[in-house]
């Protein structure tokens, strides 16, 4: 497929597009697996700046991928948007994405958050952290993800199922860092240290840590921030007895995943689609990602919301997130062999 070159530059930081780009298309069809009400503000801001209306179809990532594949050349989809690099990899494998040649995206976004062949781009960062019970530990009792398999944490860890994409991507990053054999041994040790069978979502791991069902839990950073910013006394009680930390700060950095988007192959409004992708890398949109779902901005120099600023200097793994998708199948088989259910 031909690489589409977009020549009308987004006026970064000004929230403006040229008149020619506005006239190019007045409609954008977005298929998104992001289910955050706050994303509506992103779409409204894009429309305000360009005059291009955004038609939104929400659904599960795999269902949307299959829908676009079945629709084929008749698909109205212009942009596919989701979270987790492995889901973007599945879209790539389905052959539904088209490359984008954009100086704006290439210069604004870290190389680690861009597909090597420009098939998709990461616009926000979500970091896999470790929660710990502050009644049990005064400070983080481990330094690295690898330490979660240490026998001293027997019966102390809560974590989601192996079917969870975020956990699969964490394991995929460990395969990249340590190799298949060492990562499988790690997974076996982690299973031995589980305080209960994997269950629930990331917030459930955090609540279990606070309740004393386990002293350590694994989850994305923004679940903690949501409770931290909540007015609910029960949420505040969880925050009062827990804390989070970013592992591997003395070596490769904490594992990061992305919220990302891509141009759909054969998009009927391709010029508008590329404008939308470039808008997602603008200062305005980057701040909105952080305000809306407590994610870290992908663009360097954009401050996250105040609640995340204490972690602004955290070190993140600079592994290209495309590797997470490439290693996904190995990660799933490895977790199954280790008894991680």
Integer Cα distance of 316 and 89 in angstroms = 21
Cα angle for residues 203, 209, 214 (degrees, 5° grid): 130
**Residue 24: pLDDT above 70?**
no
What is the domain count for the chain?
2
101 within a domain of the structure (yes/no): yes
Are residues 134 and 164 both part of a single domain? yes
Are residues 329 and 215 both part of a single domain? yes
In Å, the largest CA–CA distance within the chain is: 63
Reported as a single tens digit per residue, the pLDDT across 36-80 is 888 999 999 999 999 999 999 999 999 999 999 999 999 999 999
Are residues 114 and 228 both part of a single domain? no
Are residues 20 and 131 both part of a single domain? no
314 within a domain of the structure (yes/no): no
Are residues 210 and 200 both part of a single domain? yes
Are residues 209 and 331 both part of a single domain? yes
Predicted TM-score (pTM) of this structure: 0.91
Are residues 155 and 235 both part of a single domain? yes
Are residues 35 and 109 both part of a single domain? yes
Going by pLDDT thresholds of 50, 70 and 90, the confidence category of residue 288 is very high
What's residue 38's pLDDT?
A: 84
102 within a domain of the structure (yes/no): yes
Are residues 192 and 328 both part of a single domain? yes
224 within a domain of the structure (yes/no): yes
Reported as a single tens digit per residue, the pLDDT across 115-173 is 999 999 999 999 999 999 999 999 999 999 999 999 999 999 999 999 999 999 999 99
- Provide the domain limits for residue 103: 4-125+257-309
Instruction: Enter the DSSP assignment of 19.
Output: H
Are residues 264 and 142 both part of a single domain? no
Q: Provide the CATH number for the domain around residue 193.
A: 3.40.190.10
Integer Cα distance of 270 and 279 in angstroms = 14
316 within a domain of the structure (yes/no): no
318 within a domain of the structure (yes/no): no
156 within a domain of the structure (yes/no): yes
Reported as a single tens digit per residue, the pLDDT across 292-321 is 999 999 999 999 999 999 998 999 999 999
Integer Cα distance of 20 and 34 in angstroms = 30
67 exposure class (CB count in 10 Å sphere: 0-12, 13-18, 19+): middle
Residues 6+ apart with CB under 8 A from 216: 130, 131, 132, 133, 141, 142, 148, 153, 156, 157, 158, 209
Q: At what angle do helices 39-50 and 270-280 cross, to 10 degrees?
A: 120
What's residue 26's pLDDT?
A: 87
What's residue 6's pLDDT?
A: 36
276 exposure class (CB count in 10 Å sphere: 0-12, 13-18, 19+): buried
- Are the beta carbons of 255 and 317 closer than 8 angstroms? yes
Integer Cα distance of 59 and 268 in angstroms = 20
Cα angle for residues 77, 82, 86 (degrees, 5° grid): 115
- Are the beta carbons of 258 and 122 closer than 8 angstroms? yes
Q: How many helices (H) and strands (E) does the chain have?
A: 14, 12
Are residues 11 and 153 both part of a single domain? no
Integer Cα distance of 47 and 54 in angstroms = 7
Instruction: Enter the DSSP assignment of 195.
Output: S
**Residue 15: pLDDT above 50?**
no
Residues 6+ apart with CB under 8 A from 111: 320
244 exposure class (CB count in 10 Å sphere: 0-12, 13-18, 19+): buried
DSSP string, 230-248: ---HHHHHHHHTEEEE-S-
Residue whose C-alpha is closest to residue 110's, from 256, 308, 254:
256
What is the separation, in whole angstroms, between the first and last Cα of the chain? Answer: 39
Are residues 28 and 130 both part of a single domain? no
220 within a domain of the structure (yes/no): yes
Which of these ranges, 3-7, 205-209, 271-275, 295-299, has the smallest mean pLDDT?
3-7
What's residue 37's pLDDT?
A: 83
Integer Cα distance of 97 and 90 in angstroms = 10
Integer Cα distance of 241 and 251 in angstroms = 28
């Amino acid at each position: 497929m031909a690489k589409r070159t977009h020549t009308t530059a987004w006026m970064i930081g000004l929230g403006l597009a040229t008149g020619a780009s506005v006239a190019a298309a007045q409609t954008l069809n977005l298929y998104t697996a992001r289910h955050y009400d706050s994303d509506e503000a992103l779409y409204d801001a894009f429309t305000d700046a360009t005059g291009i209306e955004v038609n939104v179809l929400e659904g599960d990532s795999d269902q949307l991928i299959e829908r676009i594949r079945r629709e084929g050349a008749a698909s109205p989809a212009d942009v596919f948007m989701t979270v987790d690099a492995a889901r973007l990899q599945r879209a790539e494998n389905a052959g539904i994405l088209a490359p984008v040649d954009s100086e704006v995206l290439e210069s604004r976004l870290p190389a680690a958050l861009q597909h090597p062949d420009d098939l998709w781009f990461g616009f926000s960062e979500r970091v896999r952290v470790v929660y710990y019970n502050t009644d049990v530990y005064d400070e983080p009792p481990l330094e690295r993800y690898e330490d979660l398999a240490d026998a001293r944490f027997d019966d102390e860890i809560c974590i989601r199922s192996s079917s969870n994409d975020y956990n699969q991507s964490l394991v995929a990053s460990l395969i990249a860092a340590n190799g298949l054999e060492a990562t499988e041994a790690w997974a076996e040790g982690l299973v031995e240290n589980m305080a209960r069978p994997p269950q629930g979502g990331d917030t459930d791991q955090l609540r279990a840590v606070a309740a004393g069902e386990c002293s350590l839990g694994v989850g994305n950073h923004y679940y903690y921030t949501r409770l931290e910013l909540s007015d609910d006394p029960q949420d505040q009680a969880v925050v009062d007895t827990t804390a989070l930390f970013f592992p591997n700060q003395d070596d490769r950095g904490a594992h990061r995943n992305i919220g990302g988007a891509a141009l759909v192959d054969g998009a009927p409004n391709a010029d508008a689609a590329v404008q939308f992708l470039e808008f997602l890398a603008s200062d305005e949109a980057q701040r909105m990602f952080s305000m809306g779902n407590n994610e870290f901005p992908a663009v360097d120099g954009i401050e996250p919301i105040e609640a995340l600023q204490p972690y602004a200097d955290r070190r993140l793994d600079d592994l290209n997130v495309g590797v997470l998708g490439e290693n996904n199948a190995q990660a799933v088989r490895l977790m199954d062999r280790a008894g991680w259910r």
